[in-house]
Structure 1
Amino acid sequence: MEFTASLLLLFLPPLLFLLLAFLNGCQPSSHSEKFPKIYPVIGSIFALVANKKRRIQWTSNLIQISPSATYVLHRPFGLRVVFTGNPANVHHILKTHFSSYQKVDEFQTTFRDVLGDGIFNVDGDSWKFQRQIASHEFNTKSLQKFVETVVDMELNDRLIPFLSEAARKGTILDMQDILQRFAFDNICMIAFGYDPKSLTPYLPEQKFAQAFEEATKLSIERLLIPFPIIWKIKCKLDIGSEKRLRIVVSKVREFARKIVKEKQEQLRKSPSLEPADLLCRILSSGHADEEFVIDIVISFILAGRDTTSAALTWYFWLLSGNPHVENEVVQEIRGKSGSPVYEDVKDMVYTHASLCESMRLYPPVPLDSRQATVDDILPDGTAIKKGTRVAYHAYAMGRSEKIWGPDWAEFRPERWLEKVDGAAGKWGFVGRDSSAYPVFHAGPRICLGREMAFLQMKRVVSGVLRRFRVVPVAEKGIKPRFVAYLTSKMEGGFPVRIEDREE
């Protein structure tokens, strides 16, 4: 009897939705309309469902056609989500009124199974503690060590030999997978002192990575369900996608627990050992809650594995379609002495600009949200009620003519450069305000690891392009499909051939 009642509760929201649709004479919005229709009670439910698989592109389009670059999306039962690509609004939300916009309750609940109380899912003291502990990883000494030891070892001992063998055999590789493996090994070694050895010649099965990928996908699908009560009931009953989420999350946490246990044992045997990595510092700080430490480990794996690999995947694809940019990058690489590595990588101005340009068009985190803790009014006049979710849209902003000009669709690194006075042929990098380019967020929560990410990416680009061409297998003119869970991906991977580059 109790099970029957639970099933009735599970199917009641969809039945209610269909009944309301019938009573209101609702029909799906036509594709010729610019903005989705808004109906009583159910809001723009039809447009939401119709664009579920392309929500980033769809919401980006809505922002592009809005005069203020802000659009208020009506969800069922009077809920609103504000999407904005207006730099003044982003500055307001992330900087000047930071305390009035916190992590979204819905997001925290939805992702608690995967991220727990990790840095990306909390505010307040817990966030401050994790940020303070992590900041030690990003001083100059740590960054130099990261590039000259961890990245270089993985590059020279694993990635380059792997690509060389693929070039020799004419093998087709999934470059997205290869870059994820590379980044995964990097973050585990620098943050936890642990080498998962995922980028080895036989490409071992990555149980953690597969489980993590599925867990983030299933968690995002929770957010896309028009009636959250559905997934909550399924979770309570442990059925369907919620049962599967429980299984894959347990695999993710099992892997993270193994890393923590090994580090605890290492510290137990050598209690006077100076903390050499992030995990050492966390465990040495007195935090005995193992589950909390596991949450932190998972969050840093997400940050280090998924973001840089996503950025590099789209970068190599863009280079393949813009040979003039690739030639400039290769010339800059060949103009470097190769030693010391840290200084060479740091000074690669054109390559740095080309990476910024690539992330403008394909940001690793295309969309992020905050929740208003008070009633407010955004600089463009949009009224915000307490509890409203406000999403700033890096993907849409990278496609804004108001921000980047009429040539915004072009992959043009020169927009980030200017000639240096008195230095013939020398370029200087010109940064953009983070409110107009929130690829690394902005304000107090701006990404601590942005410099580390650039150093890592430039070292990979330098090492790979000095010796190889990365040639997509897809027919010319066929674009990969952009999909986004927590971070952006190429749907189906990025199949390429590796070719030796002639000197």
Structure 2
Amino acid sequence: MLDLTQFSSSFIPLTAAALALIFAIFIFRTHLKKSPQKDKKYHPIATSALDQVLNYYRLFDLLADLSRKYRTYRLSSFSRNEIFATDPAVVEYILKTNFPNYGKGSYAYSIFKDLLGDGIFAVDGDKWKHQRKVASYEFSTKNLRDFSGGVFKATAVKLARIVSGFSASDKSVDMQNLFMKATLDSVFKVILGIDLDALSGTYEEGARFTQAFDTANGFTSYRFVDFFWKIKRFLNIGSEAKLKKSIKVVDDFVYKLIKSKMEQLNNPHEDLHPGKKEDLLSRFLELKETDPKYLRDIVLNFVIAGKDTTATTLSWFFYLLCKHPEIQEKIAKEIIEATQVSGDSSIEELAAKVNEETLDKVHHLHAALSETLRLYPAVPVDGKICFSDDTLPDGFSVNKGDMVTYLAYAMGRSKDLWGDDAEEYRPERWLNENGHFQARNPFIFTAFQAGPRICLGKDFAYRQMKIFSMILLGSYRFKLNDESKPVKYRTALTLHMEGGLHLRVLPRFSHETGVNA
């Protein structure tokens, strides 16, 4: 990802000058000719591109602040409007009711194409429908669900063993960094069936891929605010030169794995190896999907969806548990009661008791994870392009080519949607009178999107986060390394913590007594 100081010193002055020129042209064009659409009514203009650039470091809070004044508002630029919505009726309309009229569009596709290709998160229409149909079926199979559960447990045990080293040495650990590596290991095993071993760093080629993939992801995100990226790509300079180099490393690695997997599945002797067709890539190959470029795009789209989103959510979750130790202890007690572990149980023994039955018992844990996603959604904003002129449920117009962006971050903090305590971390709001988890309206709680594009991996994400949390919180207590240091997000496509999450780790049980320490 990009250094914010470098961003501020070089990008902001150039952008401010460019925006001033564009705005002047826009005003001139507006006065030069009358609009033929006088009968249309548009949302109030509440922000500008310059305002967003100057507040880039706190962009999501800026948008949330404006949402307290206007439930839906817009930014008007030279080429189109960008509408920002927190109204559930508008969200439901673009994600479900009039779904065919709103999609990624050519703008987002041009930004994502180099990294994500024609993958499910970059395309619309028939390409999207085909991949969605196939992937939806595969994600619903018990085989993949059981396989992924075993992968999540094995990775969580490995993570807990690494954490135990920091507990013994009394040194702080960057949990966000570990979560990033652990989720990458998990998603690679589930999708490709290989051990990337990012946690241990012993697989050098895998480590190079990891670094290149993170770099490519960061520079792809940067395109959304870099007005000059196409020029830089044409000249192969600056961030675009680095992006191109990183994608080459990513492609070489992924194509090599795809080729190896295809050779493995074409070898009849490989049938002797149990579980070889459990990973997602093998299952796509069984469906006779053999175009390496198509498979490459599928792999990278699911990697990008399953890595950063889960890791950032777990990071904010552990941060909130450290800020609310009473909630951390309540969840730990629930985990211990559900698994019936004793003080002298090993990490492996605890993991063995984490199964579908015990996962279904930890309602407060599920609620606490959902409450984390409400306040810190992994994808804080998400936009769709309008394909033809339309009128939204609130009576305001939207033109062809306009972007309608729903603000998950702002919606989670809306008192209109969640009550006067909307900004408080209160997992109990997700529990019914029997103490059981109760889902909320997906057009209010938009962390996993909704409608036809609702996240295919929602249940997998919850399962992974619950397994990781049960094994870690059932074994250790966590505290912030520096209680006085503020924790901030880094403005990007996903809600990373700026500077990581540095925690102190304490054993949950005393080795001498076998009781809670």
What's the TM-score bracket when you normalise by the shorter of the two chains?
0.7 to 0.9
Secondary structure of the residue that 2:378 maps to in structure 1? coil
Q: How does 1:238-317 map to 2 (within 5 A)?
A: 238-270=236-268, 273=271, 275-317=277-319
Match of 2:493 among 482, 486, 490: 486
Quote how far apart the aligned CAs of 1:272 are. 8.2
The answer for unaligned runs of 5 or more in structure 2 is 1-12, 28-43, 341-352, 510-515
1:50 maps to amino acid: L
Match of 2:334 among 332, 335, 338: 332
Asked whether 1:360 is paired with 2:364, we answer: no
Quote how far apart the aligned CAs of 1:356 are. 0.3
Q: 1:457 to 1:340 in 2, by over 3 A?
A: closer
Match of 1:370 among 384, 387, 398: 384
Residue aligning to 1:442:
450
1:431 maps to amino acid: A
Please identify, of 55-64 and 191-200, the stretch whose mean Cα deviation from structure 2 is larger.
55-64
Give the TM-score taking structure 1 as reference length.
Answer: 0.87
Residue aligning to 1:97:
98
Quote how far apart the aligned CAs of 1:232 are. 1.2
Residue aligning to 1:118:
119
Distance, in Å, in 1 between the alignment partners of 2:502 and 2:354 is: 33
Residue aligning to 1:455:
463
2:482 maps to amino acid: A
Distance, in Å, in 1 between the alignment partners of 2:210 and 2:332 is: 32
Asked whether 1:60 is paired with 2:64, we answer: yes
Residue aligning to 2:184:
184
2:162 maps to amino acid: F
| Residues 386 and 401, structure 2, Cα contact 8 Å, conserved in 1 | yes
Distance, in Å, in 2 between the alignment partners of 1:321 and 1:12 is: 40
- Can you list the C-alpha shifts for 1:241-281, whole angstroms capped at 9, x where unaligned? 11111111112222222221221121121388574221012
Quote how far apart the aligned CAs of 1:201 are. 7.7
Distance, in Å, in 2 between the alignment partners of 1:488 and 1:101 is: 24
| Residues 144 and 280, structure 2, Cα contact 8 Å, conserved in 1 | no
Q: 1:385 to 1:468 in 2, by over 3 A?
A: same
Residue aligning to 1:386:
400
For these two proteins, the number of residue pairs brought into alignment is: 465
2:396 maps to amino acid: T
Q: How does 1:120-139 map to 2 (within 5 A)?
A: 120-135=121-136, 136-139=138-141
Give the TM-score taking structure 2 as reference length.
Answer: 0.84
Asked whether 1:350 is paired with 2:364, we answer: yes
The list of structure 1 runs, each at least 4 consecutive aligned residues, that deviate by more than 4 angstroms after superposition, is 11-25, 35-38, 201-205, 271-274
| Residues 201 and 207, structure 2, Cα contact 8 Å, conserved in 1 | no
Asked whether 1:46 is paired with 2:50, we answer: yes
Distance, in Å, in 1 between the alignment partners of 2:180 and 2:75 is: 34
Secondary structure of the residue that 1:65 maps to in structure 2? coil
2:356 maps to amino acid: Y
1:245 maps to amino acid: L
Residue aligning to 2:429:
415
Residue aligning to 1:216:
217
Quote how far apart the aligned CAs of 1:152 are. 1.6
Asked whether 1:150 is paired with 2:151, we answer: yes
Q: 1:24 to 1:206 in 2, by over 3 A?
A: same
Residue aligning to 2:168:
168
| Residues 330 and 466, structure 1, Cα contact 8 Å, conserved in 2 | yes
- Can you list the C-alpha shifts for 1:92-135, whole angstroms capped at 9, x where unaligned? 11011111111132111011111111111012222222223323
Secondary structure of the residue that 2:506 maps to in structure 1? strand
Distance, in Å, in 2 between the alignment partners of 1:296 and 1:414 is: 38
- Can you list the C-alpha shifts for 1:295-314, whole angstroms capped at 9, x where unaligned? 11111111111111111000
Secondary structure of the residue that 1:469 maps to in structure 2? strand
